[in-house]
Structure 1
Amino acid sequence: MTNQIFDDYFLKQNQLMNEKFQIWLEHSLFSWQWWFGLILLVISIIFWIKFRKKDSTNRLLYSGFFVAIVASFLDLIGTSLGLFHYHYEIFPFAANYLPWSIIMLPISIMIFLQIKPKANPFFKAAIYSAVASFIVLPFLNFIEIYHPIRWNYFYSFPILVTLYLITHFLVRRNNFEKII
């Protein structure tokens, strides 16, 4: 009996994914918001390639992957709990907005880590988080990509401060051993 419950749930979820895909095809794909996200994705990657500290690439990528994983996980939790959702996804099967959680958030943190690397990390975390929480997210809401339902921009601030500080800690580690 329990297996039937899971099977029924899977069928409902699959039907909803098919419906979401159709909505994406008809209303999202090639809309100006879709193009905006795609261009943002490409420009962010090009910007990072051009302006990263070349000798710190691996260390920065390590921290960027951490940010991408955590941000994607948090987006999954937030969308699953109905706290917020995204429209005009680049890829229809993602629960998160890829240009934001997989590209922009990690790249912006990696770039910010490079700027004034000796500055107080708490101060930098506060500035970064304020810009992301109170400027970027409201802008994404304004252009109808991000839709907070039971979420306030203030909630994002301490999460982003914490994420920035952990990333700062990770990027400063010197205890990687060589694999022989």
Structure 2
Amino acid sequence: MSNDQLHEIQQKAAQFELNRWLLSGVFTWQWWFLFAGFIIPWIILFKFIDRKRAAPIWFFGLLVLIITSFTDDLGAEIGMWVYPIKLLPYSLISFPFDFSLVPVAQMLIYQYCKTWKIFLFALLIQAGIFAAVGEPFSIWAETITYYGWNYAYSFLFYIFTGTLSRAFVSYWINGRSRS
């Protein structure tokens, strides 16, 4: 297949995706749910963030966001899930989850749970709620459809993401400051 043929297929797919979004996605109740899921967590974070510790909290959140969005893009690319209703038409990832709900929830856990023991306990609760309540609701609402993915994987993913991000931030702040 030539580059021109590939480009033509991509253009047709983009037009199809825009038409699908305009006809059956934007301004549906599911779209408003995604919109609220994108905006409300940031409002909560801005209200409650510890401004004295803002830099490490933002650093932690950025790591969570990077891991989550990369993993989401990869999973969508290989067909593990699709987003029938999207906040924006041209995206494999789910902005409300990758750029808001997951990072903000974990940033608040990072902020308030200062010891590893309490952090991991809170992370387990967050992972359980997101995997056992949030994701089934999202499937019911048809904002995501899984193909070969399940809630147990998500549960482990949330724990892995938060733990890895905290370990990296702890090393960066504590380990590097001794150097």
How high is the TM-score relative to the length of structure 1?
0.88
Identical aligned pairs, as a percentage? 24
Q: Which runs of 5+ in 1 are unaligned?
A: none
Poorly superposed stretches of 4+, deviation over 4 Å: none
**129-138 vs 25-34, which moves further:** 129-138
Partner of 2:34: 37
Partner of 1:132: 130
Report the AA paired with residue 40 of structure 1: G
2:59 to 57, 62, 71: 62
| Aligned residue pair count | 175
SS of equivalent to 2:2: helix
- Cα offsets for 1:29-87 (capped at 9, x unmatched): 11111111112211111000001111111211111111111111111111111111112
Q: 1:146-161 alignment to 2 at 5 Å?
A: 146-161=144-159
1:101 aligns with 2:103: no
**Alpha-carbon distance in structure 2 between the residues aligned to 1:58 and 1:176:** 16
Q: Is the 8 A contact 2:83 2:143 kept in 1?
A: yes
Deviation at 1:141, TM superposition (A): 0.9
Deviation at 1:21, TM superposition (A): 0.7
Report the AA paired with residue 91 of structure 2: A
**Alpha-carbon distance in structure 2 between the residues aligned to 1:122 and 1:41:** 25
Report the AA paired with residue 136 of structure 2: P
1:20 aligns with 2:17: yes
Q: Is the 8 A contact 2:76 2:92 kept in 1?
A: yes
Partner of 2:43: 46
Deviation at 1:176, TM superposition (A): 9.3
SS of equivalent to 1:25: helix
Q: 1:139-178 alignment to 2 at 5 Å?
A: 139-173=137-171, 174=173
**Alpha-carbon distance in structure 1 between the residues aligned to 2:174 and 2:5:** 49
Report the AA paired with residue 39 of structure 1: A
Distance 1:163 1:57, change over 3 A: same
- Cα offsets for 1:84-142 (capped at 9, x unmatched): 11122111111111000111110010011123322514333322222221221111111
**Alpha-carbon distance in structure 2 between the residues aligned to 1:5 and 1:60:** 47
**Alpha-carbon distance in structure 2 between the residues aligned to 1:34 and 1:141:** 14
Report the AA paired with residue 98 of structure 2: S
Deviation at 1:166, TM superposition (A): 1.0
**Alpha-carbon distance in structure 2 between the residues aligned to 1:30 and 1:39:** 12
